[in-house]
Amino acid sequence: MSDTTESPATTGTGSGPGRMLVAVYAIFALAAGARAGVQIATKFSEAPVAYTLSAFAAVVYVLATVALARGGRTSRRLAVAACSVELAGVLVVGTLSLADPAAFPDATVWSGYGRGYGFVPLVLPVVGLLWLRRTARAGRG
């Protein structure tokens, strides 16, 4: 029998300081999604890679938001995956955007390690992963 029960009350990922984390992820999901939607609809041909990356970032932020808010074993795994993908994306896109600015004629959420967003995209997945680690320990003992 598999454990599919999601219980945020017992895991704590979306409670206490986790609520602030969920709120920041939700804001970034909305911001990245709205930005990507407008850019794709109005000027996709100008920077298709950048705008597609912004849309991908929005999806990652939505997944992280939902997973962190729900808690539970399955959601915790999804949250770890989303935060890990986000961190890798910020590091890869950030590095590429600085190494070859011509490849990114328009900025993404992750360009320059999130410089356009106060470097929050660089810090957020680290905070998310640390929070998941902390609440996992609290749930075990």
Looking at the domain assignment, is residue 3 inside a domain? no
Provide long-range contacts, Cβ within 8 A and 24+ apart, for 55-60: 56/89, 57/28, 57/32, 57/86, 57/89, 57/108, 57/109, 57/110, 57/121, 58/29, 58/32, 58/33, 58/109, 60/85, 60/86, 60/89
Looking at the domain assignment, is residue 107 inside a domain? yes
Looking at the domain assignment, is residue 4 inside a domain? no
- DSSP letter assigned to residue 13: T
Looking at the domain assignment, is residue 38 inside a domain? yes
Looking at the domain assignment, is residue 80 inside a domain? yes
CB atoms within 10 A of CB 101: 12
User: Between 10 and 115, whose confidence is greater?
Assistant: 115
Model's pTM, two decimal places? 0.86
Residue 139 pLDDT > 80, yes or no?
A: no
Residue 13: per-residue pLDDT: 76
Q: Rounded to whole angstroms, what are the CA distances from 10 to 2, 3, 14, 23, 50?
A: 18, 14, 10, 20, 39
Task: State both tokens at 71.
Answer: 């808690």
Residue 29: per-residue pLDDT: 97
Looking at the domain assignment, is residue 8 inside a domain? no
Indicate the pLDDT class of residue 3, thresholds 50, 70 and 90.
very low
pLDDT digits (tens, 9 = 90+) for 34-46: 999 999 999 999 9
What is the arithmetic mean of pLDDT over 108-120?
95
Residue 33 pLDDT > 70, yes or no?
A: yes
Q: Which amino acid is at 50?
A: A
Q: Tell me the residue range of the domain where 27 lies.
A: 17-139
Looking at the domain assignment, is residue 22 inside a domain? yes
Residue 140: per-residue pLDDT: 60
CB-count exposure of residue 86 (10 Å: 0-12, 13-18, 19+): buried
| Alpha-carbon gap, residue 108 to 52, rounded angstroms | 9
What is the arithmetic mean of pLDDT over 90-100?
97
Domains: count for the chain? 1
Looking at the domain assignment, is residue 10 inside a domain? no
Residue 110 pLDDT > 50, yes or no?
A: yes
Indicate the pLDDT class of residue 12, thresholds 50, 70 and 90.
confident
Residue 54 pLDDT > 50, yes or no?
A: yes
